[in-house]
Structure 1
Amino acid sequence: MIADLPPLNAVRAFASAARHQSFSRAAEELHVTHSAVSRHIRLLEEHLGVVLFERRNRQSLLTPIGQAYFEQISQGLAQIANATHALTRGSAPRKVVINVRPSFAVRWLIPRLPDFMAQHPDIQPEVVTSTLAPDQSREAFDVVVRRGSSGWAANIEPHVLLEDDMLLVAAPALLQAIPVIAPSDVLRHTLLSGRTRSGDWAAWCKLAGIRQPQRQPRLQFDHMHLVLQAAVDGLGVALCPASLLGKDLATGRLHSPLPHLRLPLTRYYYGVSQDAVAETQVFIDWMFSQFSPGSDRCRYECH
């Protein structure tokens, strides 16, 4: 069987290029040149007698055969990595890799991590951020958190983590200058929104029973933590998931002028990798400890 193995350096280069869908990013990950990655993959194609990538101008796409091969070898490479980790874990810090979206990392997870590290000094949390749907063959992790349960890889089962809803917030100075007493007062402000949540204002206006003007000033940002920073800086009013507000309301950085007008959001879910380390359950238990006892709702500081 060992004699039948392909060149393992070539397999490693292929797996990295397939995971990133980029020869350049694979070269960065492996600390080699773009041409070295290309040579490794061509060597592997010659060894296998198949075409793994369709080369286009400035782009390389997996062929159907390449995709199938990547999915199969990913499991084997993960087993090698896990076996190596198990062999060396006695002398190295125990690590849990947590895959979350950037805004969840910045606004929910990172501010709470000191508590986890104080409770579990022997476990090292490693936070990686991604906006992609959870897929272990593409991104390595022990536990993943996303809003919604659709689009997940078949080998990752989503479990409910917490419920959430959308809240109207703005800087106190802005609300003092242009008060928001009724929902229609929002129409006097610039509306702040995230690129992936561009439909929230239309849904909120419908819930509030008001019609949004077509030409109302807007500012859009890539991530919700940037939207919140813009709100803190007084650039406009924002709709923010209550789970991401942190201590902004309690410290007075932001104020919610209509706290009872809430737009329900899709739940957060978590999933565990098939190859997750045992410490993953410790992290999951800690996450649930951050919520109100006997409830899966987030402990909103605005309550």
Structure 2
Amino acid sequence: MNLPPLNAVRAFVAAARHQSFTLAASELHVTHSAVSRQIKVLEAFMGVRLFDRRIRQVSLTVEGLRFYAQADAALKQIAVATQSVMGQAPARIVRINVRPSFAVRWLIPRLPNFVARYPGIEPHVLTDTLPPDKALDSFDIAIRRGHGGWPASIELRPFLEDAVCVVASPALLAMHPIDTPNDLATLMLLWAKSRKGDLDAWQSHVGVDKIVPSGQMQFDHVHFVLQAAIDGLGFAVVPITLASSGIASGQLRCLFPELRMPVTRYYYGIATDAGSEAQLFSEWLDHELLKHKNAF
């Protein structure tokens, strides 16, 4: 049976559906050039041209239209057959142990990407403030800061480097412009019990005068602090990892980005009895790490 490469067919069908290599690349989580290469492979295999390529535009040839109609239907049939078998198979689960703020502010906003890439694997997020070696529930992967509190059997892998910065909402800053660190005294300080010393440590590290905020609000966890900052209640000195989704979405602004204070980096560990799902999640974490480095 002389079958074309399946990945090339998937790339072709996505590009044909969108009439765009760029949109196809976004759907498949690959680069524009990867889609272009796959389609060239398919055209070479079939010996026909499937797309007419123009500047910033592609369109299907007659042969491309004919192949798309049948290839799209064939891929859908494969998906139906796969789902039918998977529906009868045991659920594939990866259990991820993280602190609540990391779950809400870093992991969960990125999980749709993992689910899209591995639709057959269910991520179960277990939030816990205890260190991994005292976790109440078993896990496949745990993510924490530093080397302390890990079971001796787990090999640690370096993950996110981190630093704290000052954040506030654009709406608040529009009403109360902040040009220098001393201007923060006009705003309310938002802080979490678990990171109550960050403002003093940051001031000492970057060498600014002691700031006396107009008031203070305390919260149990950093994700509550960040939500309060997004809602315009005041400013916060928080880890960039936890503020990254808010900064990327425009809900928060990092003030004085050049004045950052490094803090303990994150590590992740895989349980010795974890299945292949954990290895796939590990590879996805490494991919997200590269994206985080490029963004910040």
Per the shorter chain, which TM-score range?
0.5 to 0.7
Q: Which residue of 1 aligns with 2:260?
A: 262
Aligned partner of 1:165 among 157, 163, 179: 163
- What residue ranges of structure 2 are gaps of 5+ in the alignment? 1-86
* Mean Cα deviation higher: 99-108 or 248-257: 248-257
Partner of 1:252: 250
Q: Distance in 2 between matches of 1:220 and 1:136?
A: 27
Deviates more, 1:129-138 or 1:252-261: 129-138
Query: What is the TM-score of this pair, normalised by structure 1?
Result: 0.64
Q: Map Cα deviations across residues 20-40 of structure 1 (whole Å, 9 max, x no partner).
A: xxxxxxxxxxxxxxxxxxxxx
Counterparts of 1:251 and 1:272 in 2: how far apart (Å)?
Answer: 31
Q: Distance in 1 between matches of 2:254 and 2:196?
A: 20
Q: Which runs of 5+ in 1 are unaligned?
A: 1-88
Q: How does 1:1-303 map to 2 (within 5 A)?
A: 91-135=89-133, 138-212=136-210, 217-292=215-290, 298-300=293-295, 303=296
Normalising by the residue count of structure 2, what TM-score does the alignment of the two structures yield? 0.66
Please say if residues 165 and 265 of structure 1, whose CA atoms lie closer than 8 Å, have aligned partners that are also in contact.
yes
The CA distance in 1 between the partners of 2:184 and 2:262, in whole Å, is: 19
Instruction: Give the C-alpha shift of residue 218 in structure 1.
Output: 1.5
Question: Matched residues in 2 for 1:214 and 1:162: separation?
Answer: 31
Q: Secondary structure at the match of 2:290?
A: coil
SS in structure 1 opposite 2:253? coil
Q: What letter matches 1:156 in structure 2? A: I
The aligned residue for residue 40 of structure 1 is: none
CA shift digits 1:106-149 (9 cap, x unpaired): 11111111111111111111111001111277430000000111
Asked if 2 retains the 8 angstrom alpha-carbon contact of 1:163 and 1:268, the reply is yes
Q: Do the aligned partners of residues 125 and 251 (structure 1) sit closer, same or farther apart at CA in structure 2, a change above 3 Å counting? A: closer
Higher helix content, 1 or 2: 2
Measured on the aligned residues, the alpha-carbon RMSD in Å equals 2.1
Task: Tell me how far apart the structure 2 counterparts of residues 240 and 214 of structure 1 sit (CA, whole Å).
Answer: 17
**What CA distance in whole angstroms lies between the structure 1 residues aligned with 2:175 and 2:165?**
20
The letter of the residue matching 1:157 is E
Query: 1:259, 1:224 → 2: CA distance?
Result: 19
Distance across 1 between alignment mates of 2:283 and 2:134: 21
Amino acid at match of 1:251: S
Identical positions, percent = 46
| 1:140 to 1:90, Cα distance in 2 relative to 1, 3 A | farther
Q: Measure the CA separation in 2 of the matches of 1:241 and 1:299.
A: 17
CA distance in 1, matches of 2:157, 2:221: 24
Give the 3-state SS of the residue equivalent to 2:147 in structure 1: coil
CA–CA distance in 1 between the matches of 2:213 and 2:116?
50
Is 1:136–1:273's contact at 8 Å kept on the other side of the alignment? no
C-alpha deviation, 1:214, in angstroms: 6.2
**Alpha-carbon distance change, 250 to 156 in structure 1, aligned in 2, over 3 angstroms:** closer
